[in-house]
Amino acid sequence: MPYYVPVFMVIGANVLYHICSKEVPQGINPTAALFVTYSVAALASLALFLILPGEHDLAGQLKQINWAPVVLGATIVCLEVGNILMYRIGWNISVASLVCNLGLAVLLIVVGLILYKEHISGRQVAGIVFCLVGLVLINK
């Protein structure tokens, strides 16, 4: 697989993700919409599990699960509800994602430094400063 294919997948999926999050009907409870969302996601995940190469023993695979997929599931629900509510209270699609992703990028640098002992260069520190300045400018 070419190096940037997953990046393009993430970018494309994120564009659709934000469009769909903004278009969830105002009158529907966000968790009802998420019930449909995750039902489709569960079916798609099962289909991909069966189609893609790799081990197809679901019971055996589930025995290897640790805390991460469980917490990831709860985190995704929070992410989804937060995005739907963000758009419902009036955030513009052109700004909301940018604000969230810049904030996320800065926090992940801290996480990388503390939890994963990653290193950052002076150029990356300058980028962090620009991101923080950008967050202030975008929200003024």
Do both 10 and 44 map to the same domain?
Answer: yes
12 is written with which tokens? 């494309």
Sequence-distant (≥ 6) Cβ neighbours of residue 128 within 8 angstroms: 106, 109, 120
Quickly state the pLDDT bin for 1 (edges 50, 70, 90).
confident
- Render 59-123 in DSSP notation, one character per residue: HHHHTT--HHHHHHHHHHHHHHHHHHHHHHTT--HHHHHHHHHHHHHHHHHHHHHHHS-----HH
What is the domain range of residue 39?
1-91
CA distance 97 to 14: 9
**pLDDT, tens digit (0-9, with 9 covering 90-100), for 59-72:** 999 999 999 999 99
Do both 85 and 17 map to the same domain?
Answer: yes
Alpha-carbon radius of gyration of the chain: 18
CA distance 106 to 124: 10
**pLDDT, tens digit (0-9, with 9 covering 90-100), for 70-95:** 999 999 999 999 999 999 999 999 89
Quickly state the pLDDT bin for 134 (edges 50, 70, 90).
confident
Mean pLDDT for all residues in the chain: 94
Global pTM reads 0.85
Do both 41 and 51 map to the same domain?
Answer: yes
C-alpha neighbours within 13 Å on the C-beta side of residue 33: 17
Do both 81 and 123 map to the same domain?
Answer: no
Number of domain units in the chain: 2
Do both 44 and 97 map to the same domain?
Answer: no
Cβ–Cβ under 8 Å, residues 34 and 74? no
Do both 53 and 106 map to the same domain?
Answer: no
Do both 79 and 98 map to the same domain?
Answer: no
